[in-house]
Amino acid sequence: MSDESDARRLLPAAVAAALAAGREILAVYASDFAVAAKADDSPLTAADTRAHRVIRDALAPTGLPLLSEEGREIAYAERSGWARLWIVDPLDGTKEFVSRNGEFTVNIALVAGQEPVMGVIYEPVADRLYVGLRAEGAWRIEAASQSLAEGRDAINWRNAGTPLPLPGAAGRPFTVVGSRSHANAVMEDFVAALRCRHDPLDFVAAGSALKFCRLAEGAADIYPRPAPTMEWDTAAGQGILEAVGGRVLIWQSDQPLIYNRPDLVNPGFVALAPGVRMS
């Protein structure tokens, strides 16, 4: 079985896991939740841990190993033998969750041969789901919890969703999408250089993996990220973006970002919408 057909077979399990995690997240979101700090001072809530457990249990029947932000630390000596794996961020954008701006997501990617062949991103507050399959395309599904049956064999994302990119992007200014929380001097210089080549130029801030979704939708052209991220922050978004012909390149190179590396901290990268070039 090819990686692509395997991804198609496993997509319903990933979608069901994302929707179930979203329900757990929203239950906490509606409460007076507490916020703890991880060792790196990033925030942690009950939503992170509850979503992780739901996804772990939902994906366990697939038999594939799981690499999750909230899971146990797994040495590369063990991970190096994984030809295929799930890479998961149960709650991407915990800062957005804590600030209650709604821009947080559930990210689930299937990685084969160090490349994301399937991406699922669920936006619980908007009840909006993005799915992408290599060689098949990507879709955006509104009212996902109602639009999709959660049985593994019943999900039909093509009928329920709208193909990406969305129509209507022509004529807008060249648009950069970036983080609300991680701007720095390198990023500012990069955007300034782009502004010299593209006039007019818009900058749009977005939280979590939604930046990749904006590129896949056709609402933005480039997402530069010189600051560090983790593999679970980007794998699902890259899977969706590449499914529509976009690219995610290591900063100042033409090499694609790959996964299940010895060091799970990503190098800086630039994500490009379909047809966008760096030069």
Would you give the distance in Å from CA 45 to the centre of its chain?
A: 20
The pLDDT-based confidence of 153 (bands split at 50, 70, 90) is very low
Do 125 and 146 lie in a common domain? yes
Do 87 and 182 lie in a common domain? no
Please give the structure tokens belonging to residue 54: 């739901």
Which residue, 122, 144, 163, sits at the end of a domain? 163
The pLDDT-based confidence of 185 (bands split at 50, 70, 90) is confident
pLDDT at 43 over 60: yes
* Mean pLDDT (whole number) for 177-205: 86
- Residue 169 is assigned to a structural domain of this protein: no
Rg over CA atoms, the chain: 18
Please give the C-alpha separations between residue 259 and each of 101, 128, 199, 240, in angstroms, as whole numbers: 30, 26, 35, 15
pLDDT at 67 over 60: yes
- Residue 168 is assigned to a structural domain of this protein: no
This prediction has a pTM of 0.94
Please give the structure tokens belonging to residue 165: 């990119």
Which residue, 116, 143, 163, sits at the end of a domain? 163
Do 207 and 240 lie in a common domain? yes
Do 87 and 219 lie in a common domain? no
Range of the domain at 199: 174-272
Going through 137-183 in order, the beta strands assigned E by DSSP cover 137-141, 162-163, 174-178
pLDDT at 151 over 50: no
**Domains in the chain, number:** 2
Exposed e or buried b for every residue in 82-98, given b needs 16+ CB within 10 A? bebbbbbbbbbbbbbbb
Do 64 and 119 lie in a common domain? yes
* Mean pLDDT (whole number) for 197-218: 94
Most confident among 156-160, 165-169, 255-259 (mean pLDDT): 255-259
Please give the C-alpha separations between residue 7 and each of 68, 90, 119, 222, in angstroms, as whole numbers: 19, 19, 9, 27
Do 207 and 155 lie in a common domain? no
pLDDT at 154 over 70: no
